[in-house]
């Protein structure tokens, strides 16, 4: 399935132990959706495109703002005012001409989430709000689609991977959507571009590992990764699946 150009392009991945041509071909035939093209989503989409994901969906309703550019690496000053999906698609198409990119310049809602997410094999949740995170969790669990979900603030970030029906889901950790105003946002407290980029890369890596190896034990399942780059603290917390969870029990 891989042509000579692709074999050369992805050589450094193909020669990894247990990756091989079969793993690269699985990436080529896979469909991954990145929800949110901010700090996490930009770096996640960038590395998924580099890795050779055959069909890459990108979803975001926002337009590029100047204050985005400390962390959202798919956008440039010349893109300010453009839709993030258009800006991202232009960069990703130049980065890898052999992949297909599907733009969703929309807001994910209860009405459209199942229709959109059902087209993909894996979801990268990289939004900046809890409403979208809970919606993605509930929809993916319902449809049985594996996903990774993460968030960052200042120098800190946390993330987990969910295999519906097999592992703890996001609601096992956070039961309900926090009330607006009860938590700090990056627009209020700020965020370092480095922590956003780091977590976006880890999210992309989880997607790649799932597609290539399909080994739950190698993923951040039933775990929460927490990193504080200000103090160089890296921790993994064990998560138990909640038998009373309203979504996955």
66-78 burial, b at 16+ Cβ within 10 Å, e below that, comes to eebeebbbbbeee
The segments of the chain whose pLDDT lies below 70 read none
Domains assigned to the chain: 4-238 (3.40.50.720)
| Per-residue model confidence (pLDDT) at position 200 | 98
| Per-residue model confidence (pLDDT) at position 1 | 87
| Per-residue model confidence (pLDDT) at position 93 | 97
d(CA 179, CA 141): 23
End-to-end CA distance of the chain: 40
| Per-residue model confidence (pLDDT) at position 117 | 98
Q: Would the pTM count as exceeding 0.95?
A: yes
| Per-residue model confidence (pLDDT) at position 216 | 87
């Amino acid at each position: 399935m891989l042509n000579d150009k692709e074999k050369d392009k992805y050589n450094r991945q193909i020669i990894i132990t247990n990756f091989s041509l079969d793993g690269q071909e699985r990436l080529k035939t896979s469909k991954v959706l990145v929800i949110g093209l901010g700090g996490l989503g930009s770096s996640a989409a960038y590395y998924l495109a580099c890795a050779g994901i055959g069909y890459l969906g990108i979803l975001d309703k926002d337009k590029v703002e100047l204050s985005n550019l400390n962390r959202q690496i798919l956008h440039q000053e010349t893109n300010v005012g453009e839709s993030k999906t258009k800006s991202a698609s232009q960069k990703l198409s130049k980065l890898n001409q052999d992949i297909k990119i599907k733009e969703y310049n929309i807001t994910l809602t209860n009405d459209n989430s199942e229709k959109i997410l059902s087209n993909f094999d894996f979801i990268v949740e990289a939004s900046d709000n809890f409403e979208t995170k809970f919606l993605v969790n509930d929809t993916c669990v319902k449809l049985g689609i594996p996903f990774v979900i993460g968030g960052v603030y200042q120098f800190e970030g946390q993330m987990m991977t969910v295999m519906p029906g097999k592992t703890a889901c996001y609601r096992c950790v956070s039961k309900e959507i926090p009330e607006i105003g009860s938590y700090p946002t990056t627009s209020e407290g700020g965020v370092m571009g480095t922590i956003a980029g780091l977590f976006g890369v880890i999210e992309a890596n989880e997607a790649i590992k799932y597609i290539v190896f399909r080994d739950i034990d190698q993923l951040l399942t039933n775990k929460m990764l927490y990193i504080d780059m200000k103090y160089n603290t890296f921790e993994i917390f064990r998560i138990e699946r909640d038998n009373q969870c309203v979504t996955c029990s």
